[in-house]
Amino acid sequence: MTDTGRAVRHVLVVGAGVVGLSTAWFLQERGAEVTVVDRDGIGTGASWGNAGWLSPGLAIPLNEPGVLLQGPRSLVDPDAPLSIPPTASPALWSFLLRFAAHCRWPSWERAVRANLPLNTACLEAFDELEKAGVDTTAVSSPITALFRSTRAAAALVRELDRIGSSGLEVEYTALAGDDARSAAPQAAASISAAVRLSGQRYVDPGGLVRNLAASVRERGGTVRGGFEAASVHRSGSTITVVSGTGEPLRADAAVVCAGAWSDRLLRPLGVRVPVRAGRGYSFTVPVEDLVPGPVYLPEARVACTPYRGGLRVAGTMEFREPDDALRPRRVEAIVRSARPFLRGVRWEERTDVWVGPRPVSPDGMPLVGATRLPGVYTAGGHGMWGLTHGPVTGRLLAERIATGKAPEALAAFDPLR
């Protein structure tokens, strides 16, 4: 039901990533006809090359106060895990100033509490997809964080305890010495501590998104690429989305899930919370020993995941334009930072080198809900946790659109905040 009280029969979803496809799938569960469009194709943005973690225990808001300490280095060291170009645009500087203002413990804890409903229900939403026949490719596995410094391990434990104090149950085990080195076959001799989180999962993100799109199609939905939305309009009870080539598509309602490209569509709709591209890089490397589960390297800010017999390695947060070219230097920086923690990895044989723009909000909370234009909604800005939170976000937004009533879990994510 739209905000005007009219039943929603057909919804147009802009963006064929995990958030957009999840929203479409759960709208179908509520009886809506759906059309999903994307400028490129299925899951070609941030949904494809990420680490594939379904990790509510590590879905920590990016605006942790320690990020400010990396600010000066990010400007002068092009290999730093956090990268900001000195030639950043005024719009990016404005975003970064807003982001810095939220890098305080009260703001971070507010984001943790706001994200709690997503973290507590995210795995259940994946279970719902599985029960309905969607192959999510999910594998249950602990995530093991490896450290060369016991001090760094203690910092992660404190952060997990802070998360736990918000109400999320985070089960972890701290290990030291030989126990830490035996926690993962790839752990180097320099590893002195580890933290193992239970109750987590991982997926093949590309496979998940393809299977989700196939399910949407099998249930009567349309999913198509080659449609880059340029504007959204309302005429009477009809929402029209117009492409850059002038092609119009009409529906009863529309949802903008265009990730880091959403801003230009949302600003004319009254959304003033900016979403910027925090670009992440990944690649796949062969390994000598089977990787039993995900490995996290907090000191290097790198995530490693079993992937097709090898290891997918993902890292960095690079604030650039979403369509900027891949920078090989960033890939080399990931290799240099991760190499001391792992053994048996053939770093020079990497394949699937990728960069993708993760949509980041300045306050550590996504934008999920209605815009000022009746019948038009948005979902995005999840930062590094769009995969973990995608299905539960889609389920909540589908409820909002179908019933006309906003679930309490979405209150903090109001796009008009």
pLDDT more than 90, % of the chain: 89
Per CATH, the number for 61-104+140-200+275-360 is 3.30.9.10
Average pLDDT over residues 383-402: 97
Give the pLDDT of residue 76: 56
Q: Is the pLDDT of residue 4 over 70?
A: no
pLDDT tens, residue by residue, 106-142 = 999 999 999 999 999 999 999 999 999 999 999 999 9
- Look at the block and give the residue holding tokens 């909002």: 400
Q: Is the pLDDT of residue 233 over 60?
A: yes
The SS3 call for residue 278 is strand
Q: Is the pLDDT of residue 73 over 70?
A: no
pLDDT tens, residue by residue, 257-271 = 999 999 999 999 999
Q: Is the pLDDT of residue 402 over 80?
A: yes
pLDDT tens, residue by residue, 175-222 = 999 999 999 999 999 999 999 999 999 999 999 999 999 999 999 999
Binning pLDDT at 50, 70 and 90, where does residue 5 land?
low
pLDDT tens, residue by residue, 337-375 = 999 999 999 999 999 999 999 999 999 999 999 999 999
Q: Is the pLDDT of residue 1 over 70?
A: no
Give the pLDDT of residue 300: 94
Q: What is the DSSP letter of 127?
A: H
Alpha-helix runs per DSSP H in 219-360: 263-266, 328-338
The SS3 call for residue 48 is coil
Average pLDDT over residues 311-325: 95
- Look at the block and give the residue holding tokens 């987590």: 200
Binning pLDDT at 50, 70 and 90, where does residue 3 land?
low
Domain coordinates of the chain in residue numbers?
61-104+140-200+275-360
pLDDT tens, residue by residue, 33-54 = 999 999 999 988 899 999 999 9
Three-state secondary structure along 303-329? Answer: EEEEECCEEEEEEEEEECCCCCCCCHH
State if pTM tops 0.85: yes
Binning pLDDT at 50, 70 and 90, where does residue 166 land?
confident
Give the pLDDT of residue 69: 73
Give the pLDDT of residue 72: 60
Asked if 387 and 53 touch (Cβ cutoff 8 Å), the reply is yes
Give the pLDDT of residue 265: 97
Average pLDDT over residues 377-399: 97
Q: What is the DSSP letter of 371?
A: -
Binning pLDDT at 50, 70 and 90, where does residue 86 land?
confident
Cα-based torsion angle of the residue sequence 303, 409, 198, 383 in order, rounded to the nearest 10 degrees: 0
Closest CA to 335 of 318, 311, 356: 311
Q: Residue 14's beta-bridge partner residues?
A: 37, 256
Average pLDDT over residues 321-334: 95
